[in-house]
Structure 1
Amino acid sequence: MGGDEFVVLVEQVKSTDDVVRVAELALDAVRAPVYLGGHVLNVSASVGVVDRPVEGTDAAELMKAADTTLYWAKADGRDRWAIFDADRHASDVSRYRLSGQLPEALARREFFVEYQPLVRLDDAVVIGTEALVRWRHPELGVLGPNRFIELAEETGAIAPLGQWVLIEACRQGRAWRDVHPHKPLLMSVNIAVRQIRDAGFVDAVKEVLAETGLEPEALQLEVTESSVMGSAGQPLQTLHALAELGVRIAIDDFGTGYSNLSYLRDLPVHALKLAGRFMAGLRAPGGPDQTDQEILSALIGLAHKLKLTVTAEGVETAAQATALRELGCDTAQGWHYGRAVPPEEVELKGRQ
């Protein structure tokens, strides 16, 4: 079919295993070393396996399915075979459609922002909110960020989308501070790797703050571990410039990536947000898991020694809140304190 693509048609098979055996034979044949001009060449291949009855099968659709499955094998690590899966294919098609719709959705104002309270554990006072973007899709309904943020990053749409979210959040943050002048609320906003790698991002943040009137110290930007651990070059310069501006920097979902606190010595980070999975041990049926408690205690203690505040995500019960408070955690968010809701529904009060 091309310079390095081949099709093998296997007829009269009794089961998919028969086709898989052919795929494995092909892979073994390609793996055999090639000796050429005194050199040894090692080659690998990837195989997409599709098993369908002849009746009702369209040749073009069959080839498309085989090609799709071939790329799954490549994406899964190469030098292997993958079997066509209709559900995975439908998911891929859906992702492809969504990625193509992102720019128009932003132009049509289909995105909106909801806010989840950030609560101080000592006294259950709301000290701020986290801005979470949603997509009101005309066909699929309201989509959470897990359905489209990764697509936006892959396609480059994350830059304009992230900028829009930042503006909306800062406007809302300024509005709340005007209503509650004696209660300085923090507005926390997620930013993507692509944004902090943009040399113009710091100026963009300055413009948003100037336009909305929100003080720099009232804005917290959340970045993932993978985007900052071992940072160098532009990302590191951007983070230092933002910190010098007065903006707080938080590491989001801490514990899902490198989890190496030594990196934090040289980064202008102010807060750690512990991943929600750390909360699982605090809601064990027989009481908090001792090992999980020790891990949380160590993380919180080390963070405090580095003069970082700690926020626990995914807090769902009063028992979890109590355990975190006893461990010295600073703030928390989760369904126990409130779900993400439109700004007019946000309760700027805490819950014990």
Structure 2
Amino acid sequence: MDLTSFSEQLSNRLVGFCWDEWAQMGVMASPKRSSSWTADPEALIVFTLEVARADPRLFDEVLDWMLFNERLLSVRRLRAICTSATDRALVDGAIGWLGWQRPRARLKATADSGSHSLELLFPGGGPVAEADPSFAAVGLLRPPLAPSHKSRAPDLTAPVNLGLRLRAVLGVGIRAEVIRVLLGTQAPWMTAQALAQTSAYAKRNVHEALAGLTDAQVLIAFTVSGEQRYTIDKEIWAALLQCPPGALPHHRDWPQLFSALRAILRWSKARTITDESDYLLASSARQLLDELRPTLSFVGVPQRHTTAEQAFDELERVTGALLTALDVTLYALHP
């Protein structure tokens, strides 16, 4: 595997994907396609904050979108979706920046604002004469950022924005997420555990929301072998949303898909600047795959048992499968 080429191609394709998603959600850009799924705003934000380290303009325009559409976002869920210290630093820097622009209690960063050894937020950028205080507080160095004020409200009738539309109807919280997932899933029913995993809310809180929605006859609950299962009448909801039942946008397990892709992207970028032997690189790739096994299983990407020598091929295959869920292609890098 040409690791440098792999990393660059993966980064470029993910940057393009993020631009297309955000352009459909209100960022000032022209989308090249119309997504058939409904986006998960918080999962997409956490993902983009990493991906856009290769594209500062995308990074800044997403922050501008967050500022304009802040009322539609869950700060608690943003933090819950983070799976690494890097995720948490990026999210806390973004929240801290929002708090500077629009002081509110919920936009208060939780990171330690003590002294840090600063890391470049945009590794490919030039020297930074003055640091943005919100990102410096989490150990990331970038120039001060002023809002561009180019973002607009999302078109709530677009399929990709169904989740935001449900938040406008039901409020920002668990109920809107549960309805979004059940309307888009191809499965005939889901359990509370599966809904908790894909919505990034605690199972106990999801149970409470499901009980309330069932009592209100919004959802249908039934028990099989002692397991409570939930489904929804899509025709009724489609009529409410003025959408043909077969045209409801699809669901993707975005927190898990994006988490796996972030891990692969970070691994590939870190390995392109090391001087490890081919054997150590292959062993590292195999370790990465082992760490991702539960996440890949959840999103339906099975892994093959491989030796260290086969790890690069397997990593490329897994990455291609993840990108297929995004309607993105990673071209083969070697025969």
Give 1 or 2 for the bigger CA radius of gyration: 1
**Is the strand fraction higher in 1 or 2?**
1
TM-score, normalised on structure 2?
A: 0.30
The one of the two structures with greater contact order (alpha-carbon pairs below 8 A, sep at least 6) is: 2
